[in-house]
Amino acid sequence: MSDEVRRLASCAVDAVDAEVRAGEGDALPGSAVQPWLLVRNLGRVDYQQTWQAMIDFTAARSDETTDELWCCEHPPVFTLGQAGRAEHLLSDVGIPLVKSDRGGQITYHGPGQVVIYVLLDLSRRRLKVRELVSAIEQAVIDLLAAHGVLAERHAGAPGVYVGAAKVAALGLRVRRSYSYHGVSLNVDMELSPFAAINPCGYPGLPVTQTRDLGIFLTPSQAATALADHLAVQLERR
């Protein structure tokens, strides 16, 4: 386990006793703190270790635990959601496949893609799952709009699209009204691994990234901007 994820897992397990709060919590290096939300910048971390840290955080948190966003990238990995079918992995390209407890089908994570994990108390924020999905999608749409790119939702297919091409994918899990997992935004990455899968279970679904849309943000810049847009959306609901 990397030092960053180990520290994160330790912080998660201690959350009940420590009652990590904005301005008081054990924020990781690079974290941005808001009054009601802690944003952790994890860098590039292993998917399975981060997933376990999310589970630990969610199990340990109480009604008083501050909500968090975890911003990161992952080494190359395919993840298969609870609705996923193995046949949507079309070929073996040497990238590991992890069966996850998030919603949705199969997707790819890799360097240059921003992942934001959304660790919220939905009851405290009076949010329904569908409203959270809408807030996440709108945050991505607003980020792209700020750079002159028109993005949209597609009915029945969660995520964000530019034309027919998917630029952001979503997958969530909720336990005891606490959400985890989140959203991935393709920023400046190698897209070829998507050809080895039916992205989100849709054969031939094209994918794109912000760089190819003329938005020249680094993954770190995109993560900060997306977290800011998501915070705005959550405050409005």
CA gap 166, 207 in Å, rounded: 5
Q: 11 an active-site residue?
A: no
- The neighbour count for residue 18, using CB atoms within 10 Å, is 14
> Is the Cβ–Cβ distance between 89 and 97 less than 8 Å?
yes
Residue 107 annotated as binding site: yes
- Asked whether residue 154 is marked as a ligand-binding residue, the answer is no
Does 116 carry a binding-site annotation? no
CA-wise closest residue to 15 among 127, 126, 119:
119
Distance CA 133, CA 158 (A): 8
103 is annotated as contributing to ligand binding: yes
β-pairing, 97-99 vs 113-119, is: unpaired
Query: Which residue of the set 11, 71, 72, 200 is catalytic?
Result: 200
102 is in an annotated binding site: yes
50 is in an annotated binding site: no
Q: Is 182 annotated as a binding residue?
A: yes
**What gap in Å lies between CA 55 and CA 68, rounded to an integer?**
13
171 marked as part of a ligand binding site: yes
- According to the annotation, is 170 in a ligand binding site? yes
Which residues have a Cβ under 8 Å from the Cβ of 24 and sit 6 or more positions away?
none
Q: Mark the binding-site residues, compressed into ranges.
A: 102-109, 169-171, 182-184
Q: Mark the binding-site residues for substrate, compressed into ranges.
A: 102-109, 169-171, 182-184
Catalytic residue set: 200
